[in-house]
A and B are shown apart, each in its own frame.
Chain A
Amino acid sequence: EIVLTQSPATLSLSPGERATLSCRASQSVSTYLAWYQQRPGQAPRLLIYDASNRATGIPARFSGSGSGTDFTLTISSLEAEDFALYYCQQRSDVYSFGQGTKLEIK
């Protein structure tokens, strides 16, 4: 089973700042990694697939990078609606999710 570890658990930033979220896999997942955003009371939404590809309708301020075991989700300039939970997910060995990073307003 591939374990995904996200850091930090909570990230406190202000609107307009840059956010950097990390996801580390217990073994290589190549680029089979996705990022999801979940706002309170809502279902998750796909942001990034295959490590660096933005999903349809996702703003350009969201970007993903990495391969193998280390991945990053970057939000270049935070907007109010970006404060939410973020999960990474691998599809290299069936599926698993990271435990999540809460992005909160400072």
Chain B
Amino acid sequence: EVQLVESGGGLVKPGGSLRLSCAASGFSFSPFAINWVRQAPGKGLEWVSSISRNSDYIYYADSVKGRFTISRDDAKNSVYLQMNILTAEDTAIYYCARVFPRIADRGSFDVWGQGTMVTVSS
């Protein structure tokens, strides 16, 4: 089964850090770009960051630029999101999503994980 599974969410104090992981299974991981998308409670979807295959192209939303870092380890079929200097506005469910089609640097998101909740609160 093609699957993405996020982990690493939790409760963190303002100004703190958290590292999210997205583990892929059921498909050949390395040719696919992967994105992080978040959804604050009761709100819409917000794209956060994107990493292409080979990590050639990396993009961030303005709201997280300079604070978040995306990376990938193809040997572990995983993508990571290092989140620093967290604020209450970062509280959200964080989803990872696969880009379709294969080898495209940008595309539609055809496979999504179930999400991991990040809560920033004192």
List chain A positions with a Cβ less than 8 A from chain B. Answer: 1, 34, 36, 38, 43-46, 49-50, 55-56, 87, 89, 91, 94-100
A34 close to B109 (CB less than 8 A): yes
Nearest 4 interchain pairs by C-beta: A49-B108, A43-B112, A95-B47, A34-B108
A44 close to B47 (CB less than 8 A): no
Contacts of A1 in B (CB 8 A): 62
User: Once the chains are docked, how many angstroms separate the CA of A96 from the CA of B47?
Assistant: 6
23 contacts between A and B (CB under 8 A): A1-B62, A34-B108, A43-B113, A43-B115, A44-B112, A46-B109, A49-B107, A49-B108, A50-B108, A55-B108, A87-B44, A89-B47, A89-B109, A91-B106, A91-B108, A94-B47, A94-B106, A95-B106, A97-B44, A97-B46, A98-B44, A100-B44, A100-B45
Contacts of B115 in A (CB 8 A): 43
User: Once the chains are docked, how many angstroms separate the CA of A87 from the CA of B110?
Assistant: 14
A95 close to B35 (CB less than 8 A): yes
Contacts of A45 in B (CB 8 A): 112
Contacts of A89 in B (CB 8 A): 45, 47, 108-109
User: Once the chains are docked, how many angstroms separate the CA of A49 from the CA of B46?
Assistant: 18
A46 close to B47 (CB less than 8 A): no
